[in-house]
Amino acid sequence: MKRFKALFVMAICGLFLSACGNLGSSNGASTSGNSSNKGTQLTGQAAAGDYQSVIKNGRYVTSKSRGVNVSQNDNQFNLKSFESGLLTVSKKVYSPSKYIFEEGQYLNTSTVQNWLGRKSKSNPDGLNPVNNGKTDPNTRNPIYLQQMEEQDFMKQNGKKLTLSGVTIGLGMNSVDYYEKKNFGSTYQTKISKAEAQREGRQIANQVLARLRQKPALKNVPITIALYRQAPTDSLVGGSFFSYSNNKAGATTVSSWKPISEQNYVYPTTSSKATNGNSGSGNSNDEASFENFKSQIQNYFPNLSGVTAQAHYTNKQLTGMNVNITTQFYSQTEIISFTQYLQQAAQKYLPSNAPIDITVSSTEGVQSFLSRDNGAKKFTSHVFNSY
Amino acid sequence: MKRFKALFVMAICGLFLSACGNLGSSNGASTSGNSSNKGTQLTGQAAAGDYQSVIKNGRYVTSKSRGVNVSQNDNQFNLKSFESGLLTVSKKVYSPSKYIFEEGQYLNTSTVQNWLGRKSKSNPDGLNPVNNGKTDPNTRNPIYLQQMEEQDFMKQNGKKLTLSGVTIGLGMNSVDYYEKKNFGSTYQTKISKAEAQREGRQIANQVLARLRQKPALKNVPITIALYRQAPTDSLVGGSFFSYSNNKAGATTVSSWKPISEQNYVYPTTSSKATNGNSGSGNSNDEASFENFKSQIQNYFPNLSGVTAQAHYTNKQLTGMNVNITTQFYSQTEIISFTQYLQQAAQKYLPSNAPIDITVSSTEGVQSFLSRDNGAKKFTSHVFNSY
């Protein structure tokens, strides 16, 4: 199923990429004469703590390696959590109040694809080890680096934007999935945290040295962050575990700072539910969630799924995404259920952490509730249709 | 595709209905000992202008004819718009500040199914005309009544809830789809507005008389509202066109009030896009939407769909749902696009009407923006994943 989904996503990507070439001509006509679209603009800040981003000639500036990570992730949870997590790291270093975000402009698709490959005669830039020809999970050389992402940060000086910082995320496998022959069974090489850290640091050094060879990146601060990918069957993505800030000009990584972030899935009925972290999060939080779950399952008939992703920073709950799925038979059921959730979530779910609750059916998202960091009450929205 | 979708929904329904029988025993255990679940409670009001609804012994009180309308609608837009529209009619008569909502408790599944059928020897209660044996679209007797819904309204007196009003919605076809032989081609009998109104009023009279035979409904006000179903290929649901308030005890409908509501789909490139209303909504609103659409299509590459449902009450725009779909390659693209939408929506979309904007990809809803009635700014939410 996941394989199928991944293939589907890749097929869609191909579709979109192949359509890309026509963008200029097909959409160009509609902007002629619109003078407000000329030059560089910013998107505006949707919420405090978000970056503004760059618009050039009315268009969003997309990543030069757009789409590579979509095809690198069998588990889409790793894609979103990697990108959001990298933004969180960037915000520690490049404050959204002073810097403007731009998608990575210095690593293009072919560069990233080459770097993510194995080192070989035909691919001397591969950051993953050479294929030693072995197929045993413990003696073969696994793929350590699964995905990478560049984020650029600009400072505004009058009407001019100057590149003033770059963040690079390196997604390191916790499990490398491989086949002994094409279309054969899938085998696994497990990669310990220590091994991932050691290899990640070594790769980071190479990446930093290579980036310094690009004239535009010679003299800007470069932050590199290491992420541990969740296994393919995880219901939550992986997490960042370490980062380093490198001053303008530095060509070797000097020091690493730890990041303490963990993701868990509640209920933890299955060991597969976690992202490879030992333990099962916080037992108080899980008990709160279980209470909430049993209340709402009693309230509304046949809820087919009630799960949560719980995110911890320095062992404290710093976010929770609750997903509720079932079939609904009427719009009034959705409205009433959402009202009830507002009460029940407030009463049973952990306080002091931002929480999102999404209510879905086979027809898609029906309603959602949200409580921001520091807020007391949940706001809710029921999706309507005319 | 729609057929397939409808069949899929029906299959899912079957699955859920068959699981229903076990609900009492499977979930019962988790509530024992929880004294707060005893008796009748209310859900609380999520937003001003919403009804509170009834909880009995910790459980939501579902409709006695739950699920019938799901299987009666090939076009799911008719389902949501019928139920939300009926709530809007109810709110005119039974104010949410004074009345409490309960799903219909007096018309059960078999009753509704019989009433929605054709009158025949085996189904004397059928509200649709007898089959006259003809297959010509103009000489056969079409199915006029496609779906019906009951909504109950209670008044609270101390701890007691008393039924104090009932609303019945009758969904009248604008097109009746039929086959001349099983699994054969689909033919259409078109039903004019005048014909739908005439038949709807006649059916309403029968429904009112029958409801008065139920002891609990003898002496409560009963509101009946007539809805015109959108064609199966419409991208927006139908709308209510008439309603009547009937005092406690009245057994024949005395007078009808008109409802002026229309739904349109923008852009109106195809005549199929409307719900059968003549004309194409308001040209200013459509021009605003077209401006918005061309701005955001220029901003973000390869937006695969930008459409809107526009809802008019007394010829005034009273609501708009904008749906934007595309593939996104990163979470940062979604965040930036949502920020841009916040500016663009405010600048280009019609003011003075509540607007929802949903941004989706093949992976589901990615973000949404909303501006309430009277509000100046759009709020936004980006769906995250850990």
From chain B, the residues in CB contact with A329 under 8 A are 13, 62-63, 66-67, 69-70
| Helix (H) / strand (E) containing B266 | strand B261-266
Whether residue B17 is predicted with pLDDT greater than 50 in this model: the reply is no
Q: How much is the pLDDT for B1? A: 39
Whether residue B358 is predicted with pLDDT greater than 70 in this model: the reply is yes
Sign of CA dihedral B135, B138, B144, B146: positive
Q: How much is the pLDDT for A254? A: 83
From chain A, the residues in CB contact with B340 under 8 A are 43-44, 55, 60
- Answer with the residue of higher pLDDT: B46 or A270: B46
In whole angstroms, how far apart are CA B187 and each of A251, B137, B144, B175, B195?
A: 74, 7, 15, 10, 19
Whether residue B34 is predicted with pLDDT greater than 70 in this model: the reply is no
Using left for φ > 0, alpha for ψ between -120 and 50, and beta otherwise, residue A16 falls in alpha
Distance separating alpha carbons of residues B285 and B263, to the nearest angstrom: 13
Q: How much is the pLDDT for B169? A: 98
- Residue A267 structure tokens: 């209920």
C-beta atoms of B298 and A30 within 8 A: yes
Closest-CA residue of B relative to A366 is: B365
Q: Using 50, 70 and 90 to split pLDDT, how confident is the model at B100?
A: very high
C-beta atoms of B84 and A337 within 8 A: no
Q: Does B267 sit behind a cis peptide bond, omega within 30 degrees of 0 on the bond before it?
A: yes
From chain B, the residues in CB contact with A370 under 8 A are 381
Distance separating alpha carbons of residues B235 and B267, to the nearest angstrom: 11
Domains and CATH numbers, chain B: 37-259 (3.10.570.10), 265-382 (3.10.570.10)
Edge-to-edge strand ranges of the sheet holding B40-42: B40-42, B54-56, B59-60
- Residue B268 structure tokens: 């109106």
Q: Which of B362, B364, B365 sits opposite A9 (nearest CB)?
A: B362
In whole angstroms, how far apart are CA B175 and each of A247, A298, A332, A374, B178?
A: 70, 41, 26, 53, 10
On the CB side of B233, CA atoms within 13 Å amount to 6
Q: How much is the pLDDT for A32? A: 32
Whether residue B61 is predicted with pLDDT greater than 50 in this model: the reply is yes
Please state at what angle helix A283-299 crosses helix A331-348, rounded to 10 degrees: 150
**Closest Cα in chain B, distance from residue A293 (Å):** 10
Q: Which of B16, B51, B298 sits opposite A59 (nearest CB)?
A: B298
Question: Residues of chain B with pLDDT > 90: what percent?
Answer: 71
CA–chain centroid gap for B312, Å, is 16
The amino acid that residue B234 corresponds to is S
Strand pairing class (B239-246; B257-258): antiparallel
Q: Cα torsion for A362, A83, A51, A244, to the nearest 10°?
A: 160
Does any CB of chain A come closer than 8 Å to the CB of residue B84?
A: yes
Q: In chain A, what is the greatest distance between 2 CA atoms, to the nearest angstrom? A: 64
Give the list of residues 6+ apart from residue B127 with CB closer than 8 angstroms, or none.
B115, B116, B117, B119, B145, B203, B206, B207
DSSP code of A230? Answer: P
C-beta atoms of B302 and A356 within 8 A: no
| B204-263 residues touching A, CB cutoff 8 A | 236-237, 239, 263
Q: How much is the pLDDT for A268? A: 85
Report chain A (386 residues): mean pLDDT per 10 consecutive residues.
40 34 28 52 75 89 92 91 96 95 96 97 97 93 97 91 97 95 92 96 97 96 98 95 96 94 86 50 90 93 90 95 92 92 94 94 92 91 92
C-beta atoms of A59 and B12 within 8 A: no
Enumerate the H helices of chain B as residue ranges.
2-20, 23-28, 68-72, 76-93, 109-116, 193-212, 283-299, 331-348
Q: Which of A37, A44, A300 sits opposite B342 (nearest CB)?
A: A44
Give whichever of A361-365, A372-376, B16-20, B338-342 has the largest mean pLDDT.
B338-342
Does any CB of chain A come closer than 8 Å to the CB of residue B178?
A: no
C-beta atoms of A386 and B58 within 8 A: no
Q: What 3-state class would DSSP assign to A186? A: strand
Q: How much is the pLDDT for B36? A: 52
Q: What 3-state class would DSSP assign to B230? A: coil
Distance separating alpha carbons of residues A217 and B56, to the nearest angstrom: 65
A105-109, A279-283, B298-302, B351-355: range with lowest mean pLDDT: A279-283
Does any CB of chain B come closer than 8 Å to the CB of residue A44?
A: yes
Distance separating alpha carbons of residues A3 and A9, to the nearest angstrom: 10
Does any CB of chain B come closer than 8 Å to the CB of residue A11?
A: no
- Residue A216 structure tokens: 């535009």
DSSP B124-135: TT--BPP--S--
Distance separating alpha carbons of residues B176 and B136, to the nearest angstrom: 12
Which of these, B40, B261, B17, lies nearest to B161 by C-alpha position? B40
Over residues A300-356, the pLDDT tens digits come to 888 889 999 999 999 999 999 999 998 888 999 999 999 999 999 999 999 989 999
Whether residue B165 is predicted with pLDDT greater than 70 in this model: the reply is yes
Whether residue B23 is predicted with pLDDT greater than 80 in this model: the reply is no
Q: What 3-state class would DSSP assign to A263? A: strand
Do residues A322 and A296 lie in contact, with contact meaning Cβ atoms separated by under 8 Å?
Answer: no
Over residues A373-383, the pLDDT tens digits come to 888 899 999 99
CA–chain centroid gap for A266, Å, is 20
C-beta atoms of A44 and B383 within 8 A: no
Do residues B196 and B176 lie in contact, with contact meaning Cβ atoms separated by under 8 Å?
Answer: no
When pLDDT is averaged across residues B184-202 and rounded to a whole number, the result is 95
Q: How much is the pLDDT for B269? A: 65
Q: Which of B69, B302, B358 sits opposite A20 (nearest CB)?
A: B302
- Residue B44 structure tokens: 């609380």
Q: Using 50, 70 and 90 to split pLDDT, how confident is the model at B289?
A: very high
Whether residue B336 is predicted with pLDDT greater than 80 in this model: the reply is yes
DSSP B297-317: HHHSTT--EEEEEEEEETTEE
- Residue A28 structure tokens: 């160009």
| B148-167 residues touching A, CB cutoff 8 A | 149, 151
Which of these, B51, B299, B13, lies nearest to A340 by C-alpha position? B51
C-beta atoms of B59 and A311 within 8 A: no
Q: Residue B151 forms beta bridges with which residues?
A: B103, B167
Q: How much is the pLDDT for B280? A: 67
Q: How much is the pLDDT for B136? A: 93
Distance separating alpha carbons of residues A361 and B365, to the nearest angstrom: 12
Q: Which of B19, B60, B332 sits opposite A83 (nearest CB)?
A: B332
Q: Residue A323 forms beta bridges with which residues?
A: A307, A358
